[in-house]
């Protein structure tokens, strides 16, 4: 839908910028050697806790910067739609908590929120804009993958299903479809894992991308793992394919997916993720060390999920994909 905003290929090569199509835009400024990196994103509530929802919204916006290897954000704006269905009392409780969560994660990222836009709206929505000014060596452009690279994912999949399963605890007709394959306690654990995973910043992963000579990255959000992997594969300078052979998925969510009656396309790689991990291509001899150091810092695992091979710009999931319970 945004094809009309794109520059021509010759323009992109001439100006060396990243425009519409992946995560952030990277736009050279009128000051030589200085570029503006900027992104915007917003979405609707998906967890019960407004404070955590604010943190998730902030982490989701910042992940687009982190996907380009940028680790310092100069400024954030907050976009907030306040639902007209909230009572005055609900609004006075929910909105301050939402704002606090967003602001606290911004502070954890080393940045601050200095403006934005708030409107009354039929639906509650939350998101924002992240902007930073960088030198060339601060950015890892998303086009440098080479055959032989390993592909890493820094957060588990299955968040959409975990959130839905938690909602189904209050929906007897939907719960009855999955209650024989998962317990309420397992759903609660999956929901907690998903919520805290979505709220976790991808900042440390972005920092390590520089240390371990990453060649490109994207974050995994609404298009799902394979959707974003395909976008990234098409952006490469080299004619390569991405082969994905492992899917780290929140425990029990594969069984829920198979029995819930809704085609989330989880195993095909198209289940939407909110504030998911970074999908990173880096030299294979650096992959294990990257994952080990990131787990040491974040206290959460990362996984080698595939490899880059010679090809023609495609991303595929192996027919014999390995499911990793997280």
Cα distance between residue 271 and residue 282, in whole Å: 25
Query: Is there a contact between 35 and 79 (Cβ–Cβ < 8 Å)?
Result: no
pLDDT tens track for 94-147: 999 999 999 999 999 999 999 999 999 999 999 999 999 999 889 999 999 999
What is the percent of the chain where pLDDT is above 90? Answer: 89
Cα distance between residue 220 and residue 197, in whole Å: 13
Query: Is there a contact between 151 and 225 (Cβ–Cβ < 8 Å)?
Result: no
Beta pairing partners, 25: 38
Beta pairing partners, 18: 26
* pLDDT given at position 12: 47
Give yes or no for residue 10 having a pLDDT over 80.
no
If phi > 0 it is left, if psi is from -120 to 50 it is alpha, else beta; for residue 213 that is left
- Model's pTM, two decimal places? 0.93
* pLDDT given at position 15: 39
Structural tokens at position 97: 């908590």
Indicate the pairing of strand 278-282 with strand 216-219: antiparallel
Beta pairing partners, 113: 76
Cα distance between residue 281 and residue 258, in whole Å: 30
pLDDT tens track for 166-225: 999 999 999 999 999 999 999 999 999 999 999 999 999 999 999 999 999 999 999 999
Structural tokens at position 323: 């499911």
pLDDT tens track for 156-183: 999 999 999 999 999 999 999 999 999 9
Give yes or no for residue 264 having a pLDDT over 70.
yes
Query: Is there a contact between 205 and 154 (Cβ–Cβ < 8 Å)?
Result: yes
Structural tokens at position 12: 């992109």
Nearest C-alpha neighbor of 156 from the set 130, 126, 195:
195
């Amino acid at each position: 839908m945004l094809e009309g905003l794109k520059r021509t290929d010759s323009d992109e090569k001439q100006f060396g910028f990243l425009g519409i199509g992946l995560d952030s835009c990277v736009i050279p400024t009128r000051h030589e050697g200085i570029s503006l990196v900027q992104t915007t994103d917003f979405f609707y509530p998906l967890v019960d806790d407004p404070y955590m929802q604010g943190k998730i919204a902030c982490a989701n916006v910042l992940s687009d910067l982190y996907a380009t290897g940028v680790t310092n954000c100069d400024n954030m704006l907050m976009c907030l739609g306040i639902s007209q269905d909230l009572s005055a009392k609900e609004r006075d409780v929910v909105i301050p908590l939402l704002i606090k969560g967003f602001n606290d994660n911004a502070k954890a990222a080393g940045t601050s929120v200095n403006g934005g836009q708030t409107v009354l709206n039929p639906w509650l929505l939350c998101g924002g804009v992240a902007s930073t000014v960088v030198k060339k060596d601060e950015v890892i452009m998303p086009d440098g993958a080479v055959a032989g690279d390993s592909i890493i994912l820094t957060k588990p999949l299955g968040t959409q299903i975990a959130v839905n399963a938690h909602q189904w605890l209050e929906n007897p007709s939907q719960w009855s479809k999955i209650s024989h394959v998962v317990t309420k306690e397992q759903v609660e654990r999956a929901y907690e894992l998903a919520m805290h995973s979505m709220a976790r910043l991808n900042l440390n992963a972005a920092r390590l991308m520089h240390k371990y000579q990453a060649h490109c990255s994207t974050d995994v959000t609404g298009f799902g793992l394979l959707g974003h992997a395909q976008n990234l594969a098409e952006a490469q300078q080299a004619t390569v394919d991405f082969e994905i052979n492992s899917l780290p998925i929140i425990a029990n969510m594969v069984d829920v997916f198979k029995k819930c009656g809704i085609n989330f396309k989880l195993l095909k790689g198209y289940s939407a993720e909110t504030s998911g991990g970074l999908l990173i291509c880096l030299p294979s001899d650096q992959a294990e060390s990257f994952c080990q150091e990131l787990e040491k810092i974040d206290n959460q695992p990362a996984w080698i999920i595939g490899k880059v091979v010679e090809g023609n710009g495609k991303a595929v999931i192996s027919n014999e994909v390995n499911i990793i319970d997280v």
